[in-house]
Structure 1
Amino acid sequence: MNIGFQEALLFPLRGGFLQPWFLLLGLTALIPWFMGSQQPVAYSSLAVIPRDALSTLVDRLLRFSGAAAAVCLSLGMAGPYLSERWVERVGTGAHIVLLLDRSSSMSENFSGRYLGGNASESKSAVARKLLAEFVQRREHDSFAMVNFAAAPIFVLPLTQDREAVLAAIRAIGDRGNGITNIAPGLAMALDFFDGQPVSGSRIILLVSDGAARIEDTTREEIRQRFHDTQASLYWIYLRNPKSNRLADKPANPDESTTPEYFLHRYFQGMGVPYQAFEAENPEAVQRAIAEVEKQGNLPLRYLEKQPRQDISAPCYAAALALLLIALAGKAVEVRAWNG
């Protein structure tokens, strides 16, 4: 659910009880007020005993402690909680969507040799490792993730939960499949910014070792959505020595044989902040991510959804403190007169 900043600031604290019928036990709070707090002590003539203000105060304190303890115990047993809510936070950073290529070629190493399940040298494994380090360094950023091959896969919405982002990166796996189809992945990545207030930098970080032709109508739609969302695009192009460089115009004008060059030209012509990095080895990938890390440090206001919070513990703690007062009074109770 999307929620605006004004809604979040006015959103009241709400709560409830998991087992509200336990609140009926709170009626036992009436017992101390109708029953004596101490056992009576026989005396020959009450008339000769002066009124003692301190004793009256202690008696009322003990009655109140017993009644309040009963109320607190009933509240704790009823399972009170605060409902989930939105909290506004302020930091410096960006909203970053990680758009990761999961085509079969990502299972190759940087020399172009297919590795299959080898986790340490494939382009996918290198990207995974370096992106995880990048996420850990960006303390105030919000991250989302989309994987794509022939079709995009929604992985994670924009969140500040570092453990969730790192778990999503680790879950990518090494074995890719299918072809590289960037357009649907870009469209899904842009969806994360729809309806969100513009705050901080908005970055789509595309990590891919290839490209595919984008239809003219789709090109215009993507261009317009980049302008509407005010998003920037960074492309880390994982190329092997056999691949063409993005800036080298191919001799063959057929876009199907050299899609990376034409996609790069299209990105350059969108009229939005765009930068491409060609990475031919893990060190180059690391340098590219470090360059992206320098970007997007604008003031960032964002909403964080807080889960439902159990507040029964304070009730039990208050009940314990009140019962200790009652027990202390019981311990010093005079059971018989001396003399």
Structure 2
Amino acid sequence: MGVGADSRAATRADRRSGLSQQRKCVGPVLRKTCFVVCGATVGFVLLLGVSLLYLPDPYKAEQFVPEENRVVTLLIWTHPFGQYRKLPNCSALYQIGGCTLTDDGRVYSQADAVIIHHRDVATGHGDLPSEPRPLEQKWIWMNYESPTHTPRLGRFEGVYNLTMTYRADSDIFLPYGYLVPRGSRTEGLHDRFAHSLRSPSLRRLLRPRLVAWVISNWSESHARVALYHQLSRYIRVDVFGRAGRPLPEDSGGSVVRLVGRYQFYLALENSQHTDYITEKLWNAVRAGAVPVVLGPSRQNYERFLPPEAFIHVDDFPTVRGLARYLLMLRRHPARLRRHLDWRGSYSLHQPAFWAEHYCTACRAVRKTRDRTYSVQDLTRWFHS
């Protein structure tokens, strides 16, 4: 993970974060800066609009194709991490008709597709189907771990027909979370599961605590742990989870409820990879805290969020500069508000594991029934 002070450092951070757009666009001297910032914002909006065309929309009705001709059977080969969960009714939950989900291996020969969770077959907790693959049956590679924590990829070159991950260039793309613009046609389709985001009132800006971090997998080799050690030298960071204090009882075990008491949340990924932006970020967004992110590049985050919606550690030449910036925002609520005002324009959708994944995969299989090819160079693609 890439770890990212005087007033010049704070100003430089503002410029890189795309903050204070109105201030930067005033006056001919700053027109170049305005062009860059406004261009980044427009780019985000355009990219978000295009991305929403490709995000799996479980509420969009299939048109012009008789439902009886689109029925498919999707076999769940192994329940992820060996944890059994009742299979969803895709029609009732997501208005995706024509899908039959089953975890009964005896129907293997009749299944149109088989969804296989990588971790289970890679670690020996499950095996690939041993029977010959039926003609036109698709095998789906499903994985939501980062490449760093995805072992033995080389064993599966040329095995699968479709990929399903958090990466935007997957055959079946379903990220850990995404924003839905308010007032758009798409928003109405997501009302049932989306969380409305609101711009904060002054009272909500003045939260009693500064920075929280919830972490379960502590490793001194992780860049996020090194960042924490440095940052905690300058400001207080309250650490919770398996590697810190238990979540308070009055939070009900909810990370979102806990983070709602803090102004900032450390959304630090365990490794840096393309599009690997997990629930850590989206929990902070849902809680109304400003996420301080450590993961892929700022440009990658801006594919999913407005540039002012987060603080990237790489925006600062030193961790001390980051700490000073956070303290400055705490003293100046008007500047802190610039990181949060965007919220009034969006809702947040966080897909449910694993029900929505199965139904999304089934819907994709229905759309690709005539496509049969094998995924080559799985390792090179996923590590790219």
Give TM class, smaller chain.
under 0.3
Which protein has the bigger strand share?
1
Look at both structures and tell me which one has the larger radius of gyration over its CA atoms: 1
TM-score (norm 1): 0.27
